[in-house]
Structure 1
Amino acid sequence: MPLSVVIQNPLCKLEILWLNECALTDEDCAALASALRSNPEHLRQLDLSGNKLVDSSMKLISAVLANPHCKVEKLWLVECCITDEGCAALASALRSNPEHLRQLDLSGNKLRDSSLKCLSTVLVNYCCKLEKLWLGYCGFTDEGCAALISALRSNPEHLRELDLSGNKLGKFDLRLLAALLANPQCKIEILWLRDCDLTGEGCPSLTSAVRSNPSHLRELNLSWNILSKSDVKSLLDLKDDPHCKLERLKYESTTSS
């Protein structure tokens, strides 16, 4: 019996569905989306990572997420070859039904700055209560990151983990991110900025931000940026500050100084 037939059965109360690296076809996604639309109330976790989701597949999956009866809390779409059009469909769905999603992983998709701006329209919504957002190695630049941080500054209370690793943010003004972290309503606990081409110029801003809002950030990963130990010394000193909760600071650098 096909899985989609099982899922659409009104007696089925499936909460967790992992289909990562299953080589799903467009036809498979259509059948899955149809089944989930027929019985959307129970699913809480959906993992479609490692499948090539063409635009038509993303639109079908997004239609499920837009259903007000859909209550998916954790969504993994890692390395799914999602395009700008697919990301726009996803963002539109999440704008329509923003209250339930708590974790979103889009790592490894080539999302241009326009996709980040589209996604930011979800995050700025006060009904959005996303707690974990992973966007590692998505290929966006400082322009997309600026839009993302601006959205998070408008709605800062819920996010606990943010991963922007592997995006070329060398020109990104870290003072924008620092302004988010300094906001007393910001409660980010884990922040990954690994391999982002960042320089030491923004470290003082980060240090000042954590000092002014020291109760939440516990892990900061700055590895594989263009940083020397002297650049991060002020951040390292925070680990000895009794008022600061920073426990782990990773800063292995691409420089030898």
Structure 2
Amino acid sequence: MNRNTLYWVSILIIMTTFIIGQSVTDEDSISSEEESASESSHNLYIMFDQEQGNTDHIATGAEYSFSLIGDWGSLQDTEFSTSLSGNYATLSGEPYALDGNFHTQFDLWANMGLSPFFFYDYSFDRSLGLINRHNIAVGAKKRLGRVFSISYAIMYEMEEYDSTDVFPRHSLRPKVKFVLNDGAAVIDFRTFYKPRVDDTNEYLWENQLRISLATLYELLSIDFSFNHSFNSRYDENDVLKPEDEWDYDWKKDLPKPTYYKSTDYSVSLGLSFSM
């Protein structure tokens, strides 16, 4: 089964979840979201892991997001949001992960049936060989019931690996979000399919699952996240990493050629502080 088929299978699963969700999501969940629609919010997530001894390993990560929702003059129910995130990790003193992302977005009529939006996104990822990627996009989101929405954007993209390339890209994003027990539990799943306009065989596919559980302290929550990403650039092409990032062959006592992989997964569990 190829990756495009897997993507559409994911869409089918989401649609099925949407139909089920129509009958299980209660009205209190919706009213809870509406009550907070005229407020601003700050969220801070921090992760740290360290091992010493036989294994010397350090992993750190942080994410900050801000959103402001309300009526801006004649622009009703409009949202401005921005977020920053980054991760850094070393093994035996050698860095093996360094990535970051900045995203800012403006949504008109954010909680209504149809919401036009604009966003700018900047990212880099050492583990993928991505020096930087810039995206400027315009699109719209359509709500389909209580828990399901789908959005489309056309993006102007500039990305740099070993050279710089500029091109347009589609972005299709279905999303399912359950808000349960007046916000005590939030389940958010979204999948992104991003083919190039000029060559749909070259695409990015990303899946994000986030579960947030409230604690006894009102501003603190426990967050679980799972991320999957696929880059067709490395699916059928053998692209070598820089020599200083090659794996070590302990039998031969030499570094061995190491290639970029097309698929990445990450799982994290941490605390989120909201204001």
TM-score normalised by the chain length of structure 2: 0.25
Name the one with the larger helix percent: 1
Name the one with the larger strand percent: 2
Report 1 or 2 for greater relative contact order, CA contacts < 8 Å, sequence distance ≥ 6.
2
Q: Which has the larger radius of gyration?
A: 2
